[in-house]
Amino acid sequence: MTGAPPADVDLVRPTLYTLLAPVSNVLDALTFLSRERAIAFLVTWVAALALWGLLRRGSRRRRLVAAALAPLAVIVLGAGAVLLPRPVPRLVAADSTLTVIDYHAHTALSHDGRRGWTLADLAAWHAAQGFGASYVTDHNLVFNGGVDTLIRLLPGVEWSVYDQHIVALGNVAPIERGVYGRDTRAMLGLFAELHRQGAIGLASLSEYWRQHWGDLDGFVAAGADGFEIVNCAPRGLSFPAAARARVLRLAEAHDLLVVGASDNHGWGKVTCVWNLSSPSAHGYRSNRVIARPIALAQGEWQPWTAAYTQPWLMLAGLSWSERSSWLTWILVILIYRAVPRREGDPPGIGILARSLSLKILRLRRPPPPSPASTD
């Protein structure tokens, strides 16, 4: 598994996504912040924008208004990342025998799922991003499948047991959860129970990393079928690369599954990870994890650097078409700001159109009597 998309898969960006690349990329980058980095990002930008507002030229009143309103931009962008309908990138695999699949996603039936987030919503969210199938893994509530939607919805559940979430996939059945809630030993017994049911069990992030990091050999001995190595939930995104490498070595040595999980709860429009599942392979080789590089990098940078490392990671990951889009938007805005306005002109698209034609025709009006201001 690497950050860059391998040669046999393609991340297809819709035309509108690329045309609006500055908006698309910023909203994606805000979606892929780990929990600690999201807090640091918010605090730093709110403080910086408030300071910028205070230090502007103009009356005291104007500066105070700017200091109060500017930080709102960060909040509005954050809300946009979570809620705004928009075009999203789609993963396409060259090999059609592979299934693009998600192993871990929630509906409104989970206590922390978005209200009104139905199976149809979950399926549409996945279909738009290239998934052909997804397990439905609500918290402690068995999904038995058999629902007709845009993609195949597969039976599963996410069991909360002792300091650990275990994603059960396949022939899942209700369990007596208390039995597995006593201690680590009791929790590990769930894997044998899942096998009795004809299901498999994967250790979910971030719990096994934060609460059971010393018990990984115990997971293997107890029959864990695999580990999540990428999880797009804000807590899961903190998982560092060195820890991921250790789990990959363990899984390879014991031929266990490694998977990526959107862990979507109905918020946010984009996944940070896809899986390519191969029907002809078993264990470690049966699944390939394809993740967005900016998501993999979350565990590599100190949270307090998020205000500048997140924009940097976003810009470093742009495709050529996205770069062209950014440059075009920057040029348009620079031209708009460079052309002096007539006295009393309201700002707006009319100025933009005239400024563009002025630039092209080189028809410069005489300079206005008073110093021009673009404020």
- Residues in contact with Zn ion by CB under 5 A are 158, 263
CB of 155 to Zn ion, least distance (A): 15
Q: Which is nearer to Zn ion, 204 or 355 (CB)?
A: 204
Triad 232, 256, 223: Cα angle to 5°:
105
Asked if residue 206 has a cis previous peptide bond (ω within 30° of 0), the answer is yes
What is the number of alpha carbons within 13 Å of residue 17 lying toward its C-beta?
20
- Measured from each CB, the residue nearest to Zn ion is 263
- Closest separation in Å from C-beta 89 to Zn ion: 22
CA separation for the pair 161, 294 (Å, rounded):
31
Measured from the CB atom, is 53 or 234 closer to Zn ion?
234
Which CB atom, from 27 or from 202, has the smaller least distance to Zn ion?
Answer: 202
Residue number with CB closer to Zn ion (107 or 355): 107
Write down the least CB distance from residue 341 to Zn ion, Å: 53
Residue 346 beta carbon to Zn ion: minimum distance, rounded to whole angstroms:
50
Nearer to Zn ion, 228 or 322 (CB): 228
Closer to Zn ion by Cβ: residue 215 or 228? 228
Q: Which residues contact residue 154 at a Cβ distance below 8 angstroms, ignoring those fewer than 6 apart?
A: 133, 134, 135, 136, 145, 169, 170
Helix (H, G, I), strand (E, B) or coil at 262: coil
Pair 41, 310: CB distance under 8 Å: yes
In the complex, minimum distance from the CB of residue 236 to Zn ion, in angstroms, rounded to a whole number: 9
Cβ closer to Zn ion: 36 or 263? 263
Helix (H, G, I), strand (E, B) or coil at 276: strand
Comparing C-alpha atoms, which of 153, 144, 147 is closest to residue 104? 153
Is the CB of residue 248 less than 8 Å from the CB of residue 258? Answer: yes
Q: 123 exposed, middle or buried (CB, 10 Å; 0-12, 13-18, 19+)?
A: buried
Residue 36 and residue 238 in contact, taking contact as beta carbons nearer than 8 Å: yes
Min. distance of Cβ 139 from Zn ion in angstroms? 7
Cβ at position 213, least distance to Zn ion in Å: 19
